[in-house]
């Protein structure tokens, strides 16, 4: 037996263990897709058909007829893009200010921003809701975006990223007569591209999957984001048929999973790095 | 004299400009203002509301001192919600972290398809908790769900899962472990990979086996990562809501009610905003307390070689 | 600077345009209704031409907006808080106390109420009248009656007469035992009787009322009083009602906690009997279980000779106090609830009419479902109107769940529930 084969055999328990757990991890996804594409009688057949003998799109048709998934997607998209866009823009400028300038009350403001990480939306949701109700922002895009126009995490990460830029670069640009805003947008931003991209990715994921705040502030079906849509698609009394329900989850999670499959290496690395810095 | 003052004002402004103080305030203004209105002010309001009876539609705010809090103490439902939340935190945080650590150690070795497996393990983190919970709700279905089907296949009795007040919370815990396992693994893996190989080599030369190397080198040097994960996951676990909302709605018989769900109910189904604010304050104190305790405690375990 | 000025003008035009557009249009009144599988009684709002004649005659547009049933109460509340609420609300009568507590609704004008109460059939009168002729809205047709439904084929299979439902609790238990089926490993594959024990506590109470009322118990002593009263939960009747199902769970093993929703289980054929809104079965059976042959009757009573009582629920057309177009709203409500419209819509949607006169016309006269309902109606009671109803139902629902899930004994749970209910009543009376 060759050396590499011996090594492979020695690793057999490792492979078994890793594969076993992997099957458990994937089982829900597999079962979700199975139920979504398999005709109703086959779903509840016993013994279960692990490989389906026939497929159907009937459940998807029903799921699409029962809820405006396109509207849900649009809403999630608008909310995510605006919140991530604003967070990046505002975070870029704020991060720059904290990293480069010295100004009175600097520490106070910085700690204030970081402190918001300690007080999650859950704790402030009631008072925030009351405020929004009084200004008529309940059940509107602005309402969903209200706590998410800026991100403390974003400010922190960007500030860290900018700190590593040599001051000389900035000084040189100033000598050349560039205004501060121009410096931030045309010099600093490109230099911390990776940080910005990582922050954007994490914030986008967070916004896309956000549930508690949207479910509090959204009341109209047409305004729902995808998480609210899928959570309320399921009838709490169990009378929803499983096929369309799973089709709906496939509709909800499909695109994000696809994006994940394409960019997973990047996603994983980005998230791992934030852990280290934390 | 007027021109004197003018010049000094201009001088101050010029100096400020040179120190870019105005720029600084301008640049941080959007974040500060937005946070101020939508995060900081509501946080302070929550504290205030917790001492009031809030009748939003009638515009009546009645100061009632500590009445909300004393009511919370005798509220059996809230007590159960607190116990459930604590149970949840105390189980999933260490278990998820520990399993994540084991997996990270396994993944530190080289083997085929490592990247593929890594992606598989991390996938649950990418899906929204509610969508994943909907799938698990179906899997937990007592008549037709895959879990009972598998049990039937091997001849074991069917379980009620989410339908039983004894099994519902454990079922939710299992789901939550599945969801967060990949994240713990990835973070630990990054931490492991930061440990210099020399330590392991030196230990092997000294005759230390794999298990000893694990406990004597990996675990201590990973202490900062462990602290981070325990705090981060702990805070998240206290805020658990999404999966409970979808899987059980807090039942049956309150066995899966958690603080955030109860808060949500009190505020948005019963319109007891003052009472809900009091619950929010309690939640905040828990989060703060746990974080501080963990942080202080962990400092004693930091180790450098 | 030029650019800025142009921008300002453009912005101003943009902001003004909606105002300009609105100036010449017909007035619009909005109607909110709950949509979803649960809400068979609101199906007609999906028809965009529903109000066509009314709209033409009054130069007004009626915009019917569908809301999700589960979040509708919150939406209504939030809209009231933001002073931006619809003109007509189509609500579940069980929400009424919650809204009345916040003083959100306008009552029906006395004269109109009198006319309505005189023209409708007795069960509608019972539903509409909240004491001394006071009406908080017009109840919708196709009201919910909670009745026993059973699977005729499964009865035959078990050796029972498919046309004879159980009439007493003893018969009920016996039938359920005979109808329960198990597989080789002892797992229950079909329950004789399906219970609702998960989900919203109010739903749990609704589907248990037949037993509570049947045993001579009640939730509160004066069901028509808005404030005050004493909870009557911890009584021998209440205990007996809980004990009945508990015995079926533990002793007979003819029902099970593994089956979540009685209606879904019944339609899927894994429950032979269930007690809930008959209108839901009537609405869903043709599509979900076309082969199912089912019967409908009054729920069983503790012993022969007792009077059966069942729950009446309904939807209400109501107008919130903060509506911007109240006069038009009431006009639209009166129009759609006139005798002619009642006849036309009930015929179109296969529902039972409300006006006594319409009951004498075809097709209602000979429809078996409608005539079957007529047997049930006289035994129907509506929910109490007490402002603390939500709190009382929470307490009762909690007790029921605890007992059936073996978290507490019947005595302990009911005592606790009564204590909490009285607390809620005291709170609401303030």
Chain C: partners with 3+ C-beta pairs within 8 Å: A, B
Name the burial class of residue A47, with classes exposed (0-12), middle (13-18) and buried (19+) by CB atoms within 10 angstroms of its CB.
exposed
Q: How far does the CA of residue A67 sit from the closest CA of chain B (Å)? A: 15
Contact C257 B270 (CB under 8 A): no
Same domain, B134 and B267: yes
Same domain, B25 and B147: no
Q: Select the residue of A127, A268, A275 nearest B122 (Cβ to Cβ).
A: A268
Q: Select the residue of B76, B143, B249 nearest C270 (Cβ to Cβ).
A: B143
On whether residue B263 sits in a domain, the answer given is yes
On whether residue B20 sits in a domain, the answer given is yes
Contact C80 B143 (CB under 8 A): no
C-alpha–C-alpha distance, residues C400 and C202, integer Å: 11
Q: Can you give the CATH number for the domain in which B265 is found?
A: 1.10.3720.10
Q: Which chain C residues contact residue A137 at CB under 8 A?
A: 82
Which among C401, C393, C300, C342 has a CA at the least distance from the CA of C93? C393
On whether residue B64 sits in a domain, the answer given is no
Share of chain B above pLDDT 70, in %: 94
Q: Yes or no: say if C355 and C283 are a contact pair by the CB < 8 Å rule.
A: no
Secondary structure E strands in C243-293: 271-277
Whether the predicted model's global pTM rises above the 0.90 cut:
no
Contact A134 C84 (CB under 8 A): no
Same domain, B43 and B121: no
C-alpha–C-alpha distance, residues B79 and B85, integer Å: 10
Q: How far does the CA of residue A218 sit from the closest CA of chain C (Å)? A: 8
Mutate to test the interface with B, among A22, A28, A142 (most CBs of B within 10 A): A28
C-alpha–C-alpha distance, residues A242 and A34, integer Å: 11
Same domain, B22 and B150: no
Q: Which residues pair with C275 in a beta bridge?
A: C148
Cα–Cα distances in angstroms (integers) from residue C356 to residues C119, C120, C339, in the given order: 6, 5, 9
C-alpha–C-alpha distance, residues A19 and A10, integer Å: 15
Condensed to tens digits (0 to 9), the pLDDT of residues B226-273 reads: 888 888 899 899 999 999 999 998 878 899 999 999 999 898 888 889
| Helix, strand, coil share of chain C (percent; to 5) | 50, 15, 35
Enter the ipTM: 0.88
C-alpha–C-alpha distance, residues A145 and A138, integer Å: 11
Instruction: Tokens 């079909």: give the residue.
Output: C190
Q: Which chain C residues contact residue A232 at CB under 8 A?
A: 68, 70-71
DSSP per-residue codes, A36-73: HHS-HHHHT-SS--SS-S---SHHHHHHHHHS-HHHHH
What is the Cα B215 distance to its own chain's centre?
Answer: 27
- Residue ranges making up the domain that contains B28: 2-49
Q: Which residues of B169-200 are buried (b: 16+ CB within 10 A; e: fewer)?
A: bebbbbbbbbbbbbbbbbbbbbbbeeeeeeeb
Q: Any chain C CB within 8 A of the CB of B170?
A: no
Q: Select the residue of B57, B77, B160 nearest C258 (Cβ to Cβ).
A: B160
Contact C199 B165 (CB under 8 A): no
Q: How far does the CA of residue C92 sit from the closest CA of chain A (Å)? A: 17
Same domain, B41 and B75: no
Q: Any chain C CB within 8 A of the CB of B149?
A: no
Q: How far does the CA of residue B161 sit from the closest CA of chain C (Å)? A: 8
C-alpha–C-alpha distance, residues C314 and C327, integer Å: 24
Q: Any chain B CB within 8 A of the CB of A155?
A: yes
Q: How far does the CA of residue C78 sit from the closest CA of chain B (Å)? A: 9
Q: Yes or no: say if C112 and C53 are a contact pair by the CB < 8 Å rule.
A: no
Mutate to test the interface with B, among C260, C262, C268, C413 (most CBs of B within 10 A): C260
C-alpha–C-alpha distance, residues A231 and A211, integer Å: 9
Same domain, B292 and B198: yes
Q: Select the residue of C66, C68, C84 nearest A232 (Cβ to Cβ).
A: C68
Q: What's the domain count of chain B?
A: 2
Q: How far does the CA of residue B5 sit from the closest CA of chain A (Å)? A: 23
Asked, as a colleague might, if the bond just before A84 is cis with ω within 30 of 0, I would say: no
On whether residue B57 sits in a domain, the answer given is no
- pLDDT tens, per residue, chain C with 430 residues: 455 555 556 566 666 555 555 544 578 899 998 876 556 667 778 788 888 888 888 888 888 888 877 778 878 887 887 777 899 999 988 888 888 888 889 999 999 999 999 998 888 888 888 878 889 999 886 667 889 999 999 999 999 999 999 999 999 999 999 999 998 878 888 999 999 888 778 888 989 999 998 888 888 888 878 888 888 889 999 999 999 999 999 999 999 988 878 888 898 899 999 998 888 888 788 888 889 999 999 999 998 888 888 888 888 899 999 899 999 999 999 998 888 888 888 888 777 788 888 888 887 777 778 778 878 888 888 888 888 888 898 899 999 999 999 999 999 999 999 999 998 898 888 7
Q: Which chain C residues contact residue B157 at CB under 8 A?
A: 185-187
C146: part of which helix (H) or strand (E)?
strand C144-151
The CATH superfamily label for domain A63-277 reads MetI-like (1.10.3720.10)
On whether residue B129 sits in a domain, the answer given is yes
Same domain, B8 and B79: no
Same domain, B78 and B39: no
Chain B: partners with 3+ C-beta pairs within 8 Å: A, C
On whether residue B292 sits in a domain, the answer given is yes
Q: Locate the chain B residue with the closest alpha carbon to C195.
A: B163
Q: Which chain C residues contact residue A240 at CB under 8 A?
A: 37
Contact A136 C203 (CB under 8 A): no
Q: Select the residue of B125, B232, B249 nearest A278 (Cβ to Cβ).
A: B232
On whether residue B232 sits in a domain, the answer given is yes
Condensed to tens digits (0 to 9), the pLDDT of residues B124-181 reads: 988 999 999 999 999 998 888 899 999 988 888 889 999 889 999 999 999 999 999 9
Q: How far does the CA of residue C133 sit from the closest CA of chain A (Å)? A: 34
C-alpha–C-alpha distance, residues A29 and A253, integer Å: 10
Q: Locate the chain A residue with the closest alpha carbon to C68.
A: A221
Same domain, B267 and B202: yes
Q: Which chain B residues contact residue C199 at CB under 8 A?
A: 249, 251
Same domain, B45 and B162: no
Q: Which chain A residues contact residue C83 at CB under 8 A?
A: 136
Break chain A into its structural domains and give their ranges: 3-56, 63-277
């Amino acid at each position: 037996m060759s050396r590499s084969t011996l090594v492979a055999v020695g690793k057999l328990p490792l492979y078994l263990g890793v594969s076993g757990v992997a099957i458990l991890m994937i089982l829900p996804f597999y079962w979700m897709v199975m139920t979504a594409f398999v005709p109703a009688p086959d779903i509840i057949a016993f013994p279960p058909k692990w490989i389906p003998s026939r497929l159907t799109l009937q459940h998807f048709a029903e799921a699409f007829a029962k809820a405006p998934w396109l509207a849900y997607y649009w809403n999630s998209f608008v909310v995510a893009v605006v919140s991530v866009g604003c967070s990046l823009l505002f975070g870029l400028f704020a991060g720059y200010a904290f990293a480069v300038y010295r100004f009175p009350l600097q520490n106070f403001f910085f700690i204030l921003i970081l402190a918001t990480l300690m007080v999650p939306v859950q704790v402030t949701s009631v008072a925030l809701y009351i405020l929004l109700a009084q200004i008529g922002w309940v059940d509107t895009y602005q309402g969903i975006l209200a706590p998410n126009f800026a991100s403390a995490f974003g400010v922190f990460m960007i500030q860290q990223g900018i700190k590593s830029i040599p001051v000389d670069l900035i000084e040189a640009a100033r000598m050349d007569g560039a205004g501060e805003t121009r410096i931030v947008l045309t010099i600093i931003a490109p230099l911390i591209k990776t940080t910005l991209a990582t922050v954007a990715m994490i914030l986008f994921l967070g916004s896309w999957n956000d549930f508690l705040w949207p479910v509090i502030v959204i009341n109209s079906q047409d305004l729902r984001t995808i998480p609210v849509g899928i959570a309320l698609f399921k009838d709490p009394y169990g009378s929803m048929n499983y096929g369309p329900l799973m089709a709906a989850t496939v509709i909800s999670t499909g695109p994000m999973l696809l994006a994940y499959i394409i960019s997973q290496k990047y996603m994983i690395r980005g998230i791992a790095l934030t852990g280290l810095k934390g | 004299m007027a021109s004197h003052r003018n010049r000094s004002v201009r001088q101050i402004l010029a100096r400020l400009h040179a120190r870019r103080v105005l720029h600084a305030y301008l640049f941080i203004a959007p974040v500060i203002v937005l946070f101020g209105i939508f995060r900081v002010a509501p946080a302070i309001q929550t504290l205030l509301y917790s001492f009031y009876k809030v009748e939003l539609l009638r515009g009546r705010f009645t100061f009632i001192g500590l009445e909300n809090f004393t009511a919370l103490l005798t509220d059996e439902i809230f007590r159960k919600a607190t116990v459930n939340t604590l149970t949840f935190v105390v189980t999933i945080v260490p278990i998820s972290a520990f399993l994540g650590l084991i997996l990270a150690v396994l993944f530190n070795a080289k083997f085929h398809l490592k990247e593929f497996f890594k992606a598989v393990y991390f996938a649950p983190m990418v899906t929204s908790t509610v969508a994943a919970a909907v799938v698990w709700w179906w899997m937990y279905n007592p008549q037709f769900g895959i879990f009972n089907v598998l049990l039937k296949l091997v001849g074991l009795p069917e379980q009620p899962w989410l339908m039983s007040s004894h099994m519902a919370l454990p079922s939710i815990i299992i789901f939550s472990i599945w969801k967060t396992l990949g994240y713990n693994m990835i973070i630990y893996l990054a931490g492991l990979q930061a440990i210099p190989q020399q330590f392991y080599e030196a230990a092997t030369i000294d005759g230390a086996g794999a298990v000893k190397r694990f406990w004597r080198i990996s675990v201590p040097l990973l202490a900062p990562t462990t602290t981070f994960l325990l705090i981060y996951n702990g805070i998240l676990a206290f805020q658990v809501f999404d999966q409970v909302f979808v899987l059980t709605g807090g039942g049956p018989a309150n066995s899966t009610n958690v603080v955030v769900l109860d808060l949500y109910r009190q505020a948005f189904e019963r319109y007891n905003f003052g009472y809900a604010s009091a619950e929010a304050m309690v939640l905040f104190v828990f989060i703060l307390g746990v974080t501080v305790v963990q942080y202080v405690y962990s400092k004693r375990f930091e180790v450098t070689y | 600077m030029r650019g800025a000025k142009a921008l300002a003008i453009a912005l101003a035009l943009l902001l003004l345009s909606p105002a300009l557009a609105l100036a010449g249009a017909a007035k619009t009144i909005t109607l909110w209704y709950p949509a979803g599988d649960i809400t068979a009684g609101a199906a007609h709002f999906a028809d965009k031409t529903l109000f066509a004649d009314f709209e033409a005659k009054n130069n007004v547009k009626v915009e019917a907006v569908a809301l999700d049933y589960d979040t509708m109460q919150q939406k209504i509340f939030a809209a009231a808080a933001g002073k931006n609420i619809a003109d007509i609300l189509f609500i579940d009568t069980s929400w009424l106390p919650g809204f009345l507590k916040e003083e959100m609704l306008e009552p029906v004008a006395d004269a109109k109420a009198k006319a309505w109460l005189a023209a409708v059939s007795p069960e509608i009168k019972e539903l509409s009248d909240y004491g001394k002729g006071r009406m908080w809205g017009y109840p919708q047709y196709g009201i919910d009656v909670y009745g026993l439904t059973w699977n005729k084929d499964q009865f035959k299979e078990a050796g029972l007469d498919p046309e004879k439902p159980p009439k007493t609790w003893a018969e009920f238990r016996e039938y359920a035992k005979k109808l329960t089926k198990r597989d080789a490993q002892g797992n229950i594959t079909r329950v004789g009787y399906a219970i609702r024990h998960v989900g919203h506590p109010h739903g749990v109470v609704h589907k248990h009322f037949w037993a509570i009322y049947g045993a001579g118990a009640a939730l509160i002593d004066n069901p028509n009083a808005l404030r005050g009263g004493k909870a009557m939960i911890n009584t021998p009747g209440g205990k007996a009602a809980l004990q009945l199902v508990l015995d079926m769970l533990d002793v007979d093993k003819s029902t099970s906690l593994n089956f979540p929703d009685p209606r879904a289980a019944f339609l899927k054929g894994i429950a032979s009997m269930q007690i809930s809104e008959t209108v839901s079965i009537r609405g869903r059976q043709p599509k979900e279980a076309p082969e199912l042959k089912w019967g409908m009757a009054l729920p069983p009573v503790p012993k022969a000779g007792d009077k059966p009582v069942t729950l009446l629920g309904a939807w209400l057309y109501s107008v919130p106090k903060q509506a911007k177009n109240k006069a038009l709203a009431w006009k639209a409500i009166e129009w759609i609830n006139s005798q002619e419209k009642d006849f036309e819509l009930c015929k179109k949607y296969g529902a039972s009419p409300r006006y006594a006169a319409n009951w004498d016309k075809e097709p209602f006269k000979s429809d078996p479902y409608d005539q079957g309902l007529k047997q049930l109606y006289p035994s129907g009671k509506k929910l109490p109107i007490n402002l603390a109803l939500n709190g009382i139902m929470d307490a009762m629902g909690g007790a029921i769940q605890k007992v059936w899930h073996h978290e507490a004994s019947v005595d302990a749970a009911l005592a606790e529930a009564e204590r909490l209910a009285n607390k809620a009543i005291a709170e609401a009376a303030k």
